[in-house]
Amino acid sequence: MGRLHNLLLLLVCFFSTLLLAQVMSAAAGMAAVKVSTTPIFSKIPRAQTTKDFQVLLRIEAPPLVDLKGRVPIDLVMVLDVDVESVSLEPVKKAMKFAIQQLSDKDSIAIFGPSMSREVIPKFMSIHGSRRVAEKKVDELEGRRIAGPARSSLDEALKMLEEQPASSSDGRAKFIVLVTDGEDITRFNSGMPEWFTAALAKYPVHAFGLGASHDAAALRLIAQRSHGTYSFLDDGNVDKVASALALCLGGLKSVAAVGARVVLKAASGSGVRIDRISSGDYASSVSQVDGGASGEIVIGALYAGEVKSFVVHLYVPAAPPALRTVEGVCCDQQQLLVANLDGQLYTSGGVDVDDAAAPVDLVVERPNAAVLVPSAIVVNQIFQFSVLKMFDTFIDKEILHRTPVTGWNDVDVDDLGRKLLARWEELVLEHQFWVGLDLGSLDGEITAVANSLSKQYIVGTAYIFSWMSSYKMQRPTAMGSPANVVGVFVTLEVHLTLQVAITLPESGGDEGECHECEYTCEKQLPPAPPLLEASGHDGSSYRLNAAYEGVVSLDDINQFMIKIYQGMVKANNLKQCQPRAVA
């Protein structure tokens, strides 16, 4: 059984690296962010006026292998964990995991609970300081007195605001907030103007530990900062490193900063932008020019990410003679131009502005047409309808309740049934939509409702985390690092999570690289073990009969070696040299 288990592990590794090789091959030659537009209908009858013409806007970042490097980051860790909490040691372990994952070009600052010993109150470069940072983490103290976690976040924001503007050039700044505190209701009851303004500049990725944390407060922080909200339930509070990996895999693979999509209605078309469905990404439509322009602010874009938005247009009847535009002819009409602004790390290793060329949305305007909706647009519109339904449910059924009105008296089973009833109504309303595919949504929403039916506090945290994932289109831990929306997991997140999962369970010295100097950006992983035939007949590892005579063990071994070498080269991995012993 042991040999079989090892073989299964090897196959998992094999197919993970095979996936990497496939992604590398598919992305060959792709060096810029890809912007695309897909209309709900490819044709609009010439005389028809369409008041809500939906357009799918997709932004796809290149994978890390296509980038010379990635954007260096300034990471602020804000930690507020009770001194007697069972998650204190897992939090320290997770912090050291984060330090080991960062590049030499990155920097870190760490803030502990209020009134505790100072940790790293100013940014410190990771290069040459990893051991210092890890020792500071070891000295981290837990919260000894009840108090709002916000005081530590205040300090972190003030520190960021005091940084010179030049320190942000070509860098990305993030805050990771980890807390098990329940007394942070001040977040919900008004924020100082300076705090709100500062929060909007720096994405806060909030992690709530255990059932006692204030999920509503952390959700609000994540929303206002355009960050994400994750939580670990009482049975998973020891898995902080794995939960953090879901976020860290993105933070350490930033491909672009300051990314925003600028939208402009085609000149002379009479088209206007009415609204934009963008989840928790800030979007706006200009009223100065009557809706002729708008924008979506994305901020940091991670390698391999795909962002999907829906732009709602008003399209009037076409004029008798369509305006002539370069590249547009016959019965075609240009409706919209999308352009991406920002700084991207290209394959040449140079930051470039306006990394993606403008994209024109063109449709046909025949006298008559049979309208067939695009399935991919239909499903994205439906997804935003689901999020709107959840927002209404959260506002009416969850946020109006407070500890004073009695959370413990809530009929949680009734809340779960209400949520499922809302979902079923929404599905019935859209049952005749051509091309609609519920995919994994039905199972995910049923799981959310079941969680809410079991326990109100955990259930609301589950809803908030699930919504955060879909609105930011990024993975979040929903009670457990194993419970994520898989479609948002990029390759870098997957690989970082695998590293976190393999960390030793104990929080001691085991597994730490004390013999290594951190002179390389990423430590070279061990080469995969090779398959060997064994047994009297040399055929203990049998291939599928369909492959006999076509693929041998030697073929597989050579293929695995090539994949391993490709992964090492693509990720710029280096051998971590042993430190000389005095």
Domains defined along the chain, listed by start: 1-30+513-582 (no CATH), 32-68+255-372 (2.60.40.3670), 73-252+454-501 (3.40.50.410)
Q: Could you identify the residue written with the tokens 């080991």? A: 100
Report the distance separating Cα 102 and Cα 105, nearest Å: 8
pLDDT at 57 over 50: yes
pLDDT at 227 over 50: yes
Strand 229-232 with 478-479, pairing: parallel
2-26 and 491-501 helices, crossing angle to 10°: 160
| Cβ contact 85:180 at 8 Å | yes
Higher per-residue pLDDT: 365 or 151 = 365
Greatest Cα-to-Cα distance within the chain, rounded to the nearest angstrom? 86
pLDDT at 534 over 80: no
pLDDT at 146 over 80: no
Once rounded to an integer, what is the mean pLDDT over residues 134-153? 76
Report the distance separating Cα 451 and Cα 460, nearest Å: 8
Q: In what order do the strands lie in the sheet with 204-209?
A: 120-125, 107-111, 73-80, 172-179, 204-209, 229-232, 478-479
pLDDT of residue 528: 59
pLDDT in tens, 321-333: 776 666 667 788 9
Once rounded to an integer, what is the mean pLDDT over residues 473-499? 95
**Dihedral (CA of 561, 567, 572, 577) sign:** negative
pLDDT in tens, 86-114: 889 999 999 999 999 999 999 999 998 87
pLDDT of residue 118: 76
pLDDT of residue 25: 35
Report which of 86, 114, 115 is spatially closest to residue 186, judged by C-alpha positions. Answer: 114
pLDDT of residue 194: 83
pLDDT at 20 over 50: no
The least confident of 28-32, 217-221, 334-338, 524-528 is: 28-32
Which residues, including other chains, have CB under 8 Å from residue 101's CB and lie 6 or more apart? 248, 252, 496, 499
Confidence band, pLDDT 50/70/90 cuts, at residue 12: very low
Percent of the chain whose predicted confidence (pLDDT) is above 70: 73
pLDDT at 470 over 90: yes
Query: Residue 472 corresponds to which amino acid?
Result: M
Could you give the C-alpha distances from 56 to 51, 278, 370, 391, in angstroms and in order? 16, 11, 20, 22
Strand 73-80 with 107-111, pairing: parallel
pLDDT of residue 58: 97
Higher per-residue pLDDT: 413 or 264 = 264
Q: Which helix (H) or strand (E) holds 531?
A: none
Report the distance separating Cα 352 and Cα 217, nearest Å: 38
pLDDT of residue 177: 96
Class of residue 496 by CB neighbours under 10 A (exposed 0-12, middle 13-18, buried 19+):
buried
What's the pTM value of the predicted model, to 2 decimals? 0.81
Strand 351-353 with 332-345, pairing: antiparallel
Structure tokens at 407: 């959370």
Per DSSP, the three-state class of 37 is: strand
Q: Could you identify the residue written with the tokens 């924008």? A: 295
Higher per-residue pLDDT: 407 or 217 = 217
Query: Residue 435 corresponds to which amino acid?
Result: G
Q: Which helix (H) or strand (E) holds 396?
A: helix 375-397
pLDDT at 357 over 80: no
Please give the mean pLDDT across all residues of the chain: 81
Class of residue 497 by CB neighbours under 10 A (exposed 0-12, middle 13-18, buried 19+):
buried
Confidence band, pLDDT 50/70/90 cuts, at residue 350: very low
pLDDT at 476 over 50: yes
Which residues, including other chains, have CB under 8 Å from residue 478's CB and lie 6 or more apart? 230, 231, 462, 465, 466, 469, 484
Confidence band, pLDDT 50/70/90 cuts, at residue 505: low
pLDDT at 375 over 90: yes
**Given its phi and psi angles, is residue 122 left (phi above 0), alpha (psi -120 to 50 degrees) or beta?**
beta
pLDDT at 411 over 80: no
pLDDT at 40 over 60: yes
